[in-house]
């Protein structure tokens, strides 16, 4: 009898579907069937056991990889971090919050820069939120109340496949009993995407001109006149969209990389937030970033609690954290060649950074911590395999609306393969040992007078 496991969380995108049903074999080692997941999510489970390594691999002088023990890998990583002047630990889109907290301990001990994928994704959103606030909601509010939905520079049909059916367009909620029929959908994108296909209104904006269009929207909301055409969109269409938005009972703007990756970056987002605030003079509007990976919201939450900053954390001063994206962000650091060691964890920087920063980072030691081989492992000095969160390792993840969800494991990791959290705890222990060994070698420091308690 195969075993059915219910309420399984999906470790892929920021929708964090937690209604999956996974059937595993009798011995609990094989995944046989995945129900309710989209094609991407089901692939994550079905391919979990493919192409796995059970031991770390260290690059040899001839360029090939040789398997080493976990103790040796931990020692190697700790020494790289200990000896580096300014190591960078980057990734974390795809691990649990426990792993992020443990990694932060390592970064603090090593005096590293600690950064996550927000840096190249919704980091623009953080910058805008710092400037302008975040009038948001949870996805349940949208499901139960929203009668107007805007997808601006986002394509959930491809990137968050069950977002529309779970939360925004199709579900029948408490005050939205008519489901899709009771909602107006506006999609703004330079392409006629599959999301635009289900929209009532598609505004095919000129790429990179979203700021102009937001300005036009805000101008109309405030009752002023606009030119006959803005950003490729006719005045009548803009007025029509704004009228729908002003008449909404409850609206949500979902936005994505169309704003964060184009010219203007954070300013596209901060004017989107300004529009949301303006609309609240008339009715209820909320805005939400379509966060990418299933737990990329996690490092923002965990590190804000630990250090007060969500990403681009410079911990090199050791007793005070500093954050200034543009200065302390991974790609900028790499472009200015300011880091001298790189740890890639729960991401694939080799595939998803532009190639120039990859070349610069590769001039120094590069360690990849990942369940599967990927581009980063294939240019690493060391690849340390770990368990897959959501499949083999349970833990807390944060959905795109900052709602924490407890993920469970459905099968065991391969024998001897640790979780990210266990691995980082071991690296932390080894760093403490290295520090103690160094301290023992040096002559004892005289204790400064007058600083001991009670004196």
Partner 1 sequence: MTPEYFEACSIIEMHDDDVKALGLVPNQLVKVTSECGSVIVKSVRGRQALYPGLAFIPQGVYANQIVPPRTQATGEPQYSGFPVTVEPAPEGERRKSTLELVQSAVGMWRGDQ
By CB under 8 A, is residue 244 in contact with partner 1? Answer: no
Joined tokens for residue 194 = 């599959």
By CB under 8 A, is residue 297 in contact with partner 1? Answer: no
Measuring CA to CA, which residue among 292, 272, 402, 308 is closest to residue 347? Answer: 292
One residue of 95, 330, 409, 419 binding partner 1 per CB under 8 A: 330
One residue of 49, 226, 335, 405 binding partner 1 per CB under 8 A: 335
> Burial letters for 106-126: b for 16+ Cβ neighbours within 10 Å, e otherwise?
bbbbbbbbbbbbbbbbbbbbb
By CB under 8 A, is residue 329 in contact with partner 1? Answer: yes
- What is the nearest approach in angstroms of partner 1 to the Cβ of residue 447? 42
By CB under 8 A, is residue 429 in contact with partner 1? Answer: no
Q: What is the DSSP string of 236-260?
A: HHHHHHHHHHHT-SEEEEEE-HHHH
- In the beta sheet, which residues pair with residue 151? 187, 254
Contact track, partner 1, 143-162, x by CB under 8 A = ------------x-------
- What is the nearest approach in angstroms of partner 1 to the Cβ of residue 350? 5
Contact track, partner 1, 99-138, x by CB under 8 A = --------------------xxx-xx--x-----------
Tell me 182's DSSP state: G
By CB under 8 A, is residue 358 in contact with partner 1? Answer: yes
By CB under 8 A, is residue 190 in contact with partner 1? Answer: yes
The nearer residue to partner 1, 203 or 393, going by C-beta atoms, is 203
One residue of 26, 67, 194, 229 binding partner 1 per CB under 8 A: 194
Cα R_g (the chain), whole angstroms: 24
Measuring CA to CA, which residue among 216, 362, 346, 343 is closest to residue 292? Answer: 346
One residue of 33, 35, 263, 438 binding partner 1 per CB under 8 A: 263
Going by their DSSP bridges, the two strands 284-289 and 313-314 should be labelled as: unpaired
Measuring CA to CA, which residue among 301, 302, 359, 357 is closest to residue 329? Answer: 357
One residue of 378, 433, 437, 438 binding partner 1 per CB under 8 A: 378
Cα torsion angle, 305, 308, 311, 314, sign: negative
By CB under 8 A, is residue 207 in contact with partner 1? Answer: yes
């Amino acid at each position: 009898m195969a075993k059915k496991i219910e309420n399984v969380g999906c470790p892929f995108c920021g929708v964090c579907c937690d209604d999956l049903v996974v059937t595993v074999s009798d011995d609990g080692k094989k995944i046989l069937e995945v129900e309710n997941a989209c094609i991407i999510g089901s692939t994550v489970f079905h391919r979990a056991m493919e192409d796995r390594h059970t031991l770390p691999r260290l690059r040899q002088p001839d360029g090939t990889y040789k398997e080493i023990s976990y103790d040796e890998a931990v020692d190697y990583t700790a020494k790289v971090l200990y000896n580096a002047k300014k190591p960078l630990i980057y990734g974390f889109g795809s691990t649990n919050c426990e792993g992020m907290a443990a990694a932060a301990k390592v970064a603090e001990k090593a005096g590293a820069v600690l950064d996550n994928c927000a840096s190249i994704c919704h980091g623009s959103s953080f910058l805008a939120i710092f400037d302008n606030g975040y009038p948001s909601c949870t996805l349940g509010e949208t499901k139960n109340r929203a009668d107007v939905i805007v997808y601006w520079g986002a394509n959930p049909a491809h990137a968050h496949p069950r977002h529309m059916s779970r939360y925004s367009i199709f579900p029948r909620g408490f005050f939205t009993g008519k489901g899709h029929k009771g909602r107006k959908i506006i999609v703004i994108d330079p392409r006629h995407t599959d999301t635009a296909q289900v929209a009532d209104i598609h505004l095919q904006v000129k790429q990179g001109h979203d700021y102009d269009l937001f300005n036009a929207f805000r101008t109309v909301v405030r009752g002023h006149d606009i030119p006959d055409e803005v950003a490729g969109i006719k005045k009548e269409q803009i007025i029509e969209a704004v009228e729908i938005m002003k008449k909404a009972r409850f609206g949500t703007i979902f936005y994505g990389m169309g704003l964060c990756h184009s010219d203007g970056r954070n300013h596209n987002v901060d004017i989107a937030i300004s529009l949301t605030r303006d609309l609240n003079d008339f009715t209820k509007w909320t805005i939400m970033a379509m966060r990418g990976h299933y737990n990329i919201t996690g490092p923002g939450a965990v590190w804000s609690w630990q250090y007060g900053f969500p990403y681009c954390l410079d911990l090199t001063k050791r007793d005070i954290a500093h954050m200034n994206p543009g200065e302390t962000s991974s790609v900028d650091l790499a472009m200015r060649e300011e880091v001298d060691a790189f740890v890639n964890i729960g991401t694939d920087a080799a595939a998803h950074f532009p190639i120039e920063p990859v070349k610069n980072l590769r001039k120094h030691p590069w360690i990849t911590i990942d369940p599967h081989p990927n581009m980063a492992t294939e240019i690493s000095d060391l690849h340390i395999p770990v368990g897959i969160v959501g499949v083999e390792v349970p833990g807390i993840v944060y959905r795109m609306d900052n709602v924490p969800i407890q993920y469970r494991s459905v099968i065991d990791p391969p024998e001897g393969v640790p979780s990210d959290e266990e691995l980082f705890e071991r690296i932390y222990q080894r760093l403490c040992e290295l520090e103690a060994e160094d301290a023992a070698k040096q002559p004892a420091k005289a204790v400064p007078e007058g600083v001991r308690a009670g004196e």
